[in-house]
Amino acid sequence: MSKQRLLAIIGRPVLPSRSPQLYNTAFKLWKLEARYVRLASSGLADALRTIDELDISGFNVTSPFKEEIIPYLTELDSCAAAIGAVNTVIRTKKGLKGYNTDPAGVLGALRELKVNPKGKRVLILGAGGAGRSALFALKKTLASAVWVTNRNAEKGREVAKKYGYRFLPRGRLKAQLALFDLVISCIPETARVIPVKNLPPHLKLIEAAYAHPFVFQEPHHQPSFPSATGGLEWLLWQGIPALELYTGRKVDPALVTKLREAVCSPQPAKSNLVLIGFMGCGKSTLGRLIAEELASDFVDTDEEIEKQTGLTVLEIFSRRREQGFRKLEASLIPPLLQRSRRSVISLGGGAVKEEKIRRALASSCHTVWLWTPLKEALERVDGCQRPLLKTSSSPGEIEKLFQERISLYARAADLIVANRRLELDQTIRLIIDEIRSAL
């Protein structure tokens, strides 16, 4: 089997992102040995370190890193250079090359809303990376009557001037909103700036964000404002050129339909938090502390198996070998994962080998892969009685096992979080913040 290619999205928070649904759907339909994951980090340097350690070959960038990442790149395409922000990065022989596909997202959302900005009065909310991408896209549509509004007036004026447009002070927005034909919102929560009751009936609205949508994103809901399209259309149309950059393949209309279904489908409600990862990554230690912080139950699946069998894990491995232990996991763990009482669960390092367990994780759990490089993980378990350390006698066998598990963890995980030395409190806070962002 060829090595699974890893791709990712970085940002903070990143767990609400639906990018994995888009890319993994394409990889599955194209039968590519690739997996796309969310990577949470305390900062950009931490994210890039994990990207290097996991040999992630390409990644998307969302807030707050779209501008911050530029000094770390060796190349920029012309679009990213003109906008001064990056949302897609590919590893090349020269280093990391940055792209910006957000203008394609804007133009795709305009097509979905059946709006031609030419001759229209357009307002851009926000002057960050997404806002500048919208302004860049509007230049291609020959829109001439465009205004920018921004919480930081100085930055808003500067960006408006750069693109040859006008600035509208935030304080005048409510009084002048009815003058516009189209609003493109590039801020996290549109409703905090424009209440629904203030929207004139002729106005059309496009949003970049979808974590806290102004309009309902699910296809079975009626939108709260009829002439609006939410951030999932932007996500779809910026994701398509990024997907083509990652794979070198062209996306046809039939696949576009499948990708739209994937990103717009209702997401399963997940009540439990599960920690997965290789031995020594800190699942049990972190799990207990997170459960205490969240006032949740804590479950260690290895301990549960020992309680139900009356044997230690070492004894089970000795008597039934690994195959027998995996059968026990497959029968005993899914009910633990699907329990209705909110719990934090530490999963045995090899449990993700069982497809039945991976299905249970996908349906009911926020699954966090605690990433720790092999050398550090082995230092943590030095002297401990670990079954696989007893059966895998050589460093080469341990390394092979570790690499095999990386693919399995990537397939099962909703989120990757690096657990490094002396950063326990920071890791706990990061995981809790990400989980809360998705609720």
Q: Are residues 146 and 205 in the same domain?
A: yes
Q: What tokens appear for 231 in the block?
A: 């951030």
Dist. CA 264–CA 236, nearest whole Å? 9
Look up residue 299 and give its two tokens: 């479950």
122 lies in the same domain as 212: yes
**pLDDT (0 to 100) of residue 431:** 96
State the virtual CA torsion across 381, 384, 390, 395 in degrees, nearest 10.
Answer: 30
What is the edge-to-edge ordering of all strands in the sheet holding 415-418? 75-76, 95-99, 88-92, 58-61, 5-11, 34-40, 415-418, 365-371, 272-276, 343-346, 297-300
Q: How many domains does the chain have?
A: 3
Domain of residue 143, CATH code: 3.40.50.720
DSSP at 87: S
pLDDT at 422: 64
Return the CATH number at 352.
Answer: 3.40.50.300
Whole-number pLDDT of residue 219: 42
Final residue belonging to a domain, choices 219, 236, 253? 236
119 and 215 belong to one structural domain: yes
Whether residues 291 and 417 fall in one domain? yes
Among the listed residues 211, 181, 205, the one whose alpha carbon sits nearest the alpha carbon of residue 106: 205
**Annotated catalytic sites, by residue?**
66
Q: Kindly state whether residue 337 falls inside one of the protein's structural domains.
A: yes
Rounded to whole angstroms, how far apart are CA atoms 401 and 409? 12
Please check whether residue 266 lies inside any domain of the structure: no
DSSP 8-state code for residue 119: T
Closest among 39, 193, 207 to 110, alpha carbons compared: 207
Q: What is the pLDDT of residue 197?
A: 73
Any idea what the CATH number is for the domain that residue 12 is in? 3.40.50.10860
Say yes or no: 163 and 39 in one domain: no
Q: What is the pLDDT of residue 392?
A: 56
Is residue 295 a part of any domain in this protein? yes
Last residue of a domain, one of 198, 227, 261: 261
Q: Are residues 288 and 409 in the same domain?
A: yes
Regarding whether 257 and 219 lie in a shared domain, the answer is no
Say if residue 403 is in the same domain as residue 311. yes
| 398 shares a domain with 284 | yes
Which residues are 184's β-sheet partners?
124, 206
For residues 377 and 418, is the Cβ–Cβ distance under 8 A? no
313 and 419: one domain?
yes
Q: Are 356 and 349 in contact (CB under 8 A)?
A: no
Does 310 fall in a domain?
Answer: yes
Does residue 94 sit in the same domain as residue 112? Answer: no
Asked if residue 170 belongs to a domain, the reply is: yes
Residue 267 maps to a domain: no
Q: What is the pLDDT along the chain (439 residues), one digit of tens a residue?
A: 458 999 999 999 999 999 999 999 999 999 999 999 999 999 999 999 999 999 999 999 999 999 999 999 999 999 999 999 999 999 999 999 999 999 999 999 999 889 999 989 999 999 999 999 999 999 888 887 999 999 999 999 999 999 999 999 999 998 999 999 999 999 988 888 887 777 788 889 998 988 655 554 444 344 455 577 778 999 999 999 999 999 999 999 999 999 999 999 988 888 899 999 998 899 999 999 999 999 999 999 999 999 999 998 888 888 888 888 999 999 999 998 987 678 999 999 999 999 999 999 999 899 999 999 998 888 877 656 555 555 555 778 888 889 999 999 999 999 999 998 767 899 999 999 999 988 7
In this structure, the answer to whether residues 81 and 115 fall within a common structural domain is no
178 in a domain, yes or no?
yes
Does residue 162 lie in a domain region? Answer: yes
List for the chain the helix, strand, coil content (%; round to 5): 50, 15, 35
pTM for the model: 0.91
Last residue of a domain, one of 205, 228, 261: 261
Domain interval for residue 61 = 5-101+244-261
